[in-house]
Amino acid sequence: MRHIIKNRSKVIIIVSVIVAFTLGFSVADSDYFFKVNKSIDVFGRVFKEITFNYVDEIDPEVFMNTGIEGMLKSLDPYTNFISASEVSDVDLITTGRYGGIGITISMRDGMIVITSLMEGYTAQKQGLRIGDKIIEVDGKSLLNVKLEDVRHLTRGEPGTEVRVKVQREGEQKPLDFVLIREEIKLKNISYSNLIQNEIALIKLDRFTRTAGDEFRLAVKELRLKGEIKGIILDLRDNPGGLLDAAVNITSKFVPKGSLVVSTRGRKVGSEQKYFSVEEPILHEIPVAVLINKNSASASEIVAGAIQDLDRGIIVGSRTFGKGLVQNVVPLPYNNQLKLTTAKYYTPSGRCIQEIDYIHKDKDGLFTITPDSLKKNFFTTNGRKVQELGGIHPDTTLLEPEPSLLYLKLMQKAMFFKFATHYVSTHSELPEDFSANGDLCTQFKNYVRENKFTYEDQVETKVEEVRNLAEKSNYGKEIIDGIQALKLKIATHKENAFEENQKELVRQLRQEIYSRYKGEQGRIEASYMDDNQVQVAVGIIRNNNLYKKILNIQ
């Protein structure tokens, strides 16, 4: 009898295994699904017990969102729950379109201030200005209103009316504007021009669905101005966007049929490869791509492909290091889940994701693979490149670290405020305008009049030492010595405007140009003394150096 029972148990086990494989998953998968279902049951029971029986009444939706956020915090920062009210923001990222009046706003000194205007839209056409302080929208005061709430007030269905009241420097009374909302189309390309008569410079700010079309049109327009003998693609500060858009942009440079990027999830057979499916419009023209620490995601796909395929040189500093792919999953009640489903790999096979968000060290910090453990990969021409940690440039050219004075002035929005003041006293940009030492002196006087002050760390520490010395009854000689050091520090700060004149003037020029020439003017001003652009131009023009960097035989 025991023998029969034993055999029966074996049969049951064998049948269970066969059924598991027949359904398409293994015993290990079955255990995993059991854990999933078990956890859902426990979570649901805990949720019900608390929402029905907790001592105080709880909003079930808020409580559920808190639980979801808690779970997602254990994953990467790009996996997010998107509530129904936030879905429009996702649409904006993918389509680059929304209904609005064409302004960018920020909070300055407790006021809602217009920081940029989109050319050709109602706000710019009706005469709103950068620096205007919005005090009312449709009769509603904006005092103590959150920035996001103001965006919801100004955005809406195209064709609808919105009334805006602003305070403007130089005007005694508030100004009223009646604006009509329009469909705003965010441009992927904020600047394109021929520099030094033969080098195309294109600044790409994002990757929405229309990025490839915009790029093709920009190249076409530049060719009407003259022959293009080289191109600089500026991806600095570009946070990325759609993977398909990145493939589309890369296809404008590389041979048709080239592998641009591949993605792989955790499941076997999940790999997808993306190839260039069109003939390049910039065939064999020297290419330089500008990158920095804020170039991420789709920007890194483009830079990585151009580098791995030896299609151009990469200039600047190491990129952000985001090699994760997200898909948007629809959820009940118009909610969505942005879920990381794969990692992407450049044509050479390397993944450039820097941070391992799942594994943490003993201090609870996310792990980063040291350089000594990173694998080497090779470009088409045999150049060595490394995995993990972003895209490293072929020519490293770090952006200068900003001075403390510059940072403090930016924190207090003094450049912005001075430009607003300048426009209030100059209806047009003077023909003899020059961003030089005289402008810096005007700026220095302006910030003094506005009671601008700041403390640096050295000054703070010296004051702490002086207080400690007094409490410890140090002699007068030591106290006087510390006081003399404080005076020297004050003199150093007084001279900081002159010592950092070039840096300050550069920012002033950008702010002032933006008031008269819009965002195009700001960008144009930033390129006037851009060292990375000049280095890229020099390499493109030096054919021998260009080929040497790319190991072209």
Q: Does position 17 have pLDDT exceeding 90, yes or no?
A: no
Give the phi and the psi of residue 13 in degrees, each rounded to 5. -65, -45
What percent of the chain is modeled with pLDDT above 70?
Answer: 94
Q: CA–CA separation, 60 vs 372, rounded Å?
A: 50
**What pLDDT was estimated at residue 7?**
47
**What pLDDT was estimated at residue 454?**
87
Confidence of residue 16 (pLDDT cuts 50, 70, 90): very low
Active-site residue among 133, 165, 252, 322? 322
Q: Does position 22 have pLDDT exceeding 60, yes or no?
A: no
Q: CA–CA separation, 333 vs 57, rounded Å?
A: 23
185-205 pLDDT per residue, tens? 889 999 999 998 899 999 999
**What pLDDT was estimated at residue 187?**
92
Q: Which helix (H) or strand (E) holds 500?
A: none
Global pTM value: 0.86
**What pLDDT was estimated at residue 27?**
55
Confidence of residue 19 (pLDDT cuts 50, 70, 90): very low
- Which whole number is the average pLDDT over 487-513? 91
For residue 122, which of 92, 163, 153 has the smallest C-alpha distance?
A: 163
Q: CA–CA separation, 81 vs 93, rounded Å?
A: 16
Q: CA–CA separation, 165 vs 187, rounded Å?
A: 27
Active-site residue among 132, 308, 310, 394? 308
- Which whole number is the average pLDDT over 518-536? 94
86-96 pLDDT per residue, tens? 776 676 667 77
Mean pLDDT of the chain, nearest integer: 90
Q: Which residue has the higher pLDDT, 23 or 179?
A: 179
**What pLDDT was estimated at residue 195?**
94
Q: Does position 9 have pLDDT exceeding 60, yes or no?
A: no
Q: Does position 6 have pLDDT exceeding 80, yes or no?
A: no
Assigned superfamily of 97-185: PDZ domain (2.30.42.10)
Q: Does position 314 have pLDDT exceeding 70, yes or no?
A: yes
What DSSP line would sit under 112-174, residue for residue?
EEEEEE-TTSHHHHTT--TTPEEEEETTEE-TT--HHHHHHHH--STT-EEEEEEE-TT-SS-
- Which whole number is the average pLDDT over 389-408? 93
Confidence of residue 149 (pLDDT cuts 50, 70, 90): confident
Active-site residue among 251, 262, 276, 297? 297
33-42 pLDDT per residue, tens? 899 999 999 9
Q: Does position 137 have pLDDT exceeding 90, yes or no?
A: yes
Give the phi and the psi of residue 425 in degrees, each rounded to 5. -110, -5
Is-catalytic flag, 308?
yes
Q: Does position 369 have pLDDT exceeding 90, yes or no?
A: no
Q: CA–CA separation, 531 vs 539, rounded Å?
A: 12
The full set of domain ranges for the chain reads 2-58, 97-185, 189-399, 404-454+500-535
**What pLDDT was estimated at residue 516?**
93
Confidence of residue 28 (pLDDT cuts 50, 70, 90): low
Coil, strand or helix at 375: coil
Q: CA–CA separation, 108 vs 174, rounded Å?
A: 18
What percent of the chain is modeled with pLDDT above 90?
Answer: 70
Q: Does position 21 have pLDDT exceeding 50, yes or no?
A: no
**What pLDDT was estimated at residue 26?**
57
Residues 6+ apart with CB under 8 A from 11: none
CATH number of the 189-399 domain? 3.90.226.10
Q: CA–CA separation, 426 vs 444, rounded Å?
A: 18
- Which whole number is the average pLDDT over 405-429? 93
